[in-house]
Amino acid sequence: MKETDLLIIGAGPGGYRAAEFAAKNGLKVVIFETGDVGGTCLNVGCIPTKSFVHDAEIIQTLNNAETFGLNGLDYEFDIQKVIQRKDEVIASLRSGIETLLSHPNITLVKAEAQFLDAHTVMAAGEEYSANYIIVATGSVPKTLRLEKPVARRVLDSSDLLSIDSQPKSLCIIGAGVIGMEFASIFNAFGTEVIVVEFLKECLPVLDSDIAKRLRKSLEKQGVTFHMQSAVTAITEDGVMFTDKKGNSVTVEAEEVLMAVGRAPLVFDHFRHAGFDYSERNGIIVNEHLQTTVSHIYAIGDVNARQMLAHAAEMQAIHVVNQILGKSDDIRLDIMPAAIFTLPEAACVGLSEDLCKEQGVDYICKKSFWRANGKALAMNEAEGLLKLIASPNGDILGCHAYGAHAADLIQEVSALMCRNTTVEQLAQIVHIHPTLSEILQAAAEQ
């Protein structure tokens, strides 16, 4: 049996970050990964989709070239080159992670690790034991349970990122983050996009007013939405659903994308470790990411708390600090998130909807991209920011859509972590002309 200080199962954003941080702090680490290092985020998630988003942004700019004085432009779109560039970006970043994991204190085992007991795992015929274990197995795409068998190929997000030709039409089931990003991307690529969503509005994580405005913006760009519609079957012809009026509708599409969210990736062998978990809710953890077995921790998507790569990374650092007996100021309760549509959206903290639902007294301050000089100069007048504060000025949250919305929300997140008030925000000098003045304008109201 091989003994070490820390075992980590999974080398995604949470796993490799935990390994790197633990090794720098003197711990001996063994990390297990069955696939490519980098997890979902690097290989089939955040990074490849953002590569696609950048290509879509360029196309959108070219389509509006006359606005910038560029007349008579002509181009041909080659999705194979888009795929090639995406693969090159992934390969470069994957190489960087492999370099991180070559630290003398880290051993990378490219094999599946299975629990034998609460301190021991088996991988590639070897037994490994440690005083502490971190589970970071990530998540997998969800799918709908339909009454009738699916009669055609249905893509998941991984499939769509490696598609060999551009579809003429694409039906996306689900208007969450994944569905909305792909709807925006492939619409810009020139594909006819139809989105079918069960809920009343897209992106439930966002303020409903912001979400509605973003959806309307994508509709103006050519995306068709069927909201409050329940998919009943996927046939050779397309997607069948019941609309909000109870009518049966069939949408014909060359390709179908299933984008109904992700589920924590749990395994039967977890039972040998003795901690509590379920297929739906993942591994149960406390505020310090400890499982019900105190020396075993679970980070990232597998604990189903915040399925975000940056959440996994910060959870990793917090857990290693716990193992080392160190305190930190990481605020896992303040977690910004972004949706990289065109235009993009982002949020942190409470929305107006949640304030009303929870009976929280609040003040909502708004500002618009159309009133910002930099936004107009960029030809990006579409956008709204909502700054939510308590009556005494504590910042409770911020939700926005518009160019570089994620950058503005990141500033709010940092300020919330330091308990900055709206009045103090209004008195912070912001560079002119920048989009950050949109935030300052809201605070000054």
CA distance 18 to 244: 46
Nearest residue to 319 via CA among 100, 13, 14: 14
- Residue 56 tokens read as 């879509």
Question: Is residue 325 packed enough to be buried (19+ CB in 10 Å), middle (13-18) or exposed (0-12)?
Answer: exposed
CA distance 287 to 11: 22
- From the list 103, 269, 430, 432, the catalytic residue is 432
Residue 54 parent element (H or E): helix 46-63
**Is residue 34 a contact partner of residue 111, using CB atoms and an 8 Å limit?**
yes
432 catalytically annotated: yes
For 268, other C-beta atoms within 10 Å of its C-beta total: 8
Pairing of strands 192-196, 169-173: parallel
Count how many Cα atoms sit within 13 Å of the Cα of residue 92 in the half-sphere of its side chain.
9
Nearest residue to 132 via CA among 312, 354, 299: 299
**Is residue 261 a contact partner of residue 174, using CB atoms and an 8 Å limit?**
yes
Burial of 273-289, coded b for 16+ CB within 10 Å and e otherwise, reads: bebebeeeebbebeeeb
CA distance 445 to 426: 9
CA distance 269 to 252: 42
User: Across the beta sheet with 248-252, what order do the strands follow?
Assistant: 230-234, 238-242, 248-252
For 230, other C-beta atoms within 10 Å of its C-beta total: 13
Catalytic sites, residue numbers: 432
